[in-house]
Structure 1
Amino acid sequence: MSDEEAAGDGGESVDDAEPNPADGAEPNPADDAEPARSRRKPVVVVVEPETPGNVGTIARAMKNFGLTDLKLVNPPEIAEGGEAYGFAGHAREDVLPNADEVSFDEVVANYHTVGTTAITGEDDRSHERYPFKTPVELRESLKTVDAPTAIVFGREGRGLNNEELSRLDEVCSIPADEEYPVLNLGQAATVLLYELRDLTVNETQQPDTEVTRAPEADVERFHEFYAEFLAATGQREHVRDKNELLMRRLLGRAHPTEREIHTLLGTFRKANAKLEHADHLAAKYDEPPYPTER
């Protein structure tokens, strides 16, 4: 990965509107309280990007993960309709055209800063690049921070130099294969902003993934059917006991849904009925029953 820098939260206050007596609404005592503040989202800073395309890629990653405030230090020309806009996707509509050009000094003076780097120090003898956090550790750390924060990415080829890193508050590094730990600038931004999404994205396109476990009465019915199935297949008692316990542990971990458990109930109901019918035919025609383990 290319040297990146990350910083935490930046954000806005959300002021409650004044109640309008003409609306006929009763005054709410809570309206006199301090206005609620939403968590401030990080701003993203790119230091001396070499190509417009990488600026566009970072803008797109910001749009993906709920960030809007992009700041550029000594950027190349970002022409409307040019390479940056071609890489930005829908971020060309807001993130990219609203990007601000700033100085490195302004970023340091106005934000809590987190610099990220591919090359880290192994111990405290390298103060510029040590200690460092992984993106996940950074996310957990920033959850406790309510301050304007900037995520600062370095140059494509060299990242941030030691002098720049020494002026930033924290250091973050993306774990990668030690033989080739350097991500390109767009990759690094996407990985880091993805890991910070819990701080920046209120709702995603994915449906609710919480599992509603099937009613315990249905789960217990399944275990009864399974025990009948094991007995009908002629397994010895101690083997049946072990298999029943293994199945109970398996379902205990799996948390089956109501639909899943009903599907299993139907399958084992039919299997048990067929085995019972086979035993009946074996007895009727004096055939040997299903073989029993010895």
Structure 2
Amino acid sequence: MSDGARGDGSKYVVVVVEPETPGNVGTIARAMKNFGLSDLKLVDPPELEEDGEAYGFAGHAREDVLPNAETVTFDEVVERYHTVGCTAITGEDARRHVRFPFRTPAELRDSLATVEADTALVFGREGCGLNNDELARLDEICSIPASEDYPVLNLGQAATVTLYELRDLFLAGTQLPDVEHERAAEPDVERLYEQFSAFLDRVEHRDHKRERTERLARRLVGRAHPTEKEVSTLTGVYRKATRDLDEADLDRGSSGGSRGDDRDRRANPGGGVEPDSE
């Protein structure tokens, strides 16, 4: 899904009411292009000159989103769309309904996924945002959680954060790889566990700790969701370490020593091998 279109044929648009700064309009246009939207509506906008601030801030959105922006009235937006008003200030409790109840952008994403209608995301002025009369005419209210000491975001920033949180509604995919699908196949992960177990055999890990060590390794790798390359590399490291230990034992055996003798000498450094007790 892209360009704000949905599977049911409805679409998303962004509306900015009486923006004061062309640069913020350009920033919003750029955020729209970043997150899969293209339909920008402006209510009483400033002059947007092609060599001015708006186009300078728009990035590649200067090629399509910004020049295709449509000037509309607030009444037209209310009449044509399911509307979501974005505001920093909300009511304190349920006794006031102009700005309450409200949703955060993340909560709004789940709500809008069930709305089968053209939807407008409405942002207000830099200085005072959307006023109460305007908010009273809109269908839903959205507010970004921020510090209670200073909850007011710059207009461009607020739109960018909101569109980012809603991006799954607009975008079919992103430039990032699918992390879940990049996880190594389970048989490869199991081979890693088997090689780790073989390594523990060669270093003679204490039997009473063996089960716990293998369980901890399984939990650690399970949480990490390693890639195929990561699993392959670790498996190779443990395989080589195990092989090196085998070769070291062969070298000791050919020179007349043994691993058992080494352990006994460490246990009895003052003399020969102690006899077994009866």
Q: TM-score, normalised by structure 2?
A: 0.84
Shift of residue 38, structure 1, vs aligned partner: 4.7
The residue matched to 2:33 in structure 1 has which SS? helix
| 8 Å contact from structure 1 (residues 41, 67) kept in 2 | no
**Partner deviation per Cα, 1:64-119 (whole Å, 9 max, x = no partner):** 11212111112112223222111111212221122122211121122111111111
Percent of pairs identical after alignment?
65
* Counterpart residue number, 2:262: 288
Q: 2:20 aligns with which of 39, 47, 50?
A: 50
* Counterpart residue number, 1:238: 208
What amino acid is the match of 1:155? R
Structure of higher RCO (CA pairs closer than 8 Å, 6+ residues apart): 1
* Counterpart residue number, 1:251: 221
Structure 2 unmatched runs, 5+: 268-278
Q: 2:110 aligns with which of 118, 124, 140?
A: 140
The residue matched to 2:209 in structure 1 has which SS? helix
| 8 Å contact from structure 1 (residues 66, 200) kept in 2 | yes
How many Å separate the matches in 2 of 1:258 and 1:155? Answer: 50
* Structure with greater Cα Rg: 2
**Partner deviation per Cα, 1:245-281 (whole Å, 9 max, x = no partner):** 1112223333444433332222112211222334445
What amino acid is the match of 1:82? G
Structure 1 unmatched runs, 5+: 1-8, 13-36
| 8 Å contact from structure 1 (residues 116, 173) kept in 2 | yes
RMSD in angstroms over aligned alpha carbons? 2.4
Q: 1:213 aligns with which of 163, 184, 200?
A: 184
1:65 maps onto 2:30 in alignment: no
1:166 maps onto 2:126 in alignment: no
**Partner deviation per Cα, 1:3-62 (whole Å, 9 max, x = no partner):** xxxxxx9758xxxxxxxxxxxxxxxxxxxxxxxx65422111111111111111111111
Q: Tell me whether 53-62 or 257-266 shows the greater mean CA deviation.
A: 257-266
Q: 1:134 to 1:68 in 2, by over 3 A?
A: same
Report the number of matched residues. Answer: 259
**Partner deviation per Cα, 1:146-172 (whole Å, 9 max, x = no partner):** 112111101111111112111111000
How many Å separate the matches in 1 of 2:205 and 2:70? Answer: 74
Q: 1:72 to 1:143 in 2, by over 3 A?
A: same
Q: 2:161 aligns with which of 191, 200, 221?
A: 191
How many Å separate the matches in 2 of 1:282 and 1:129? Answer: 80
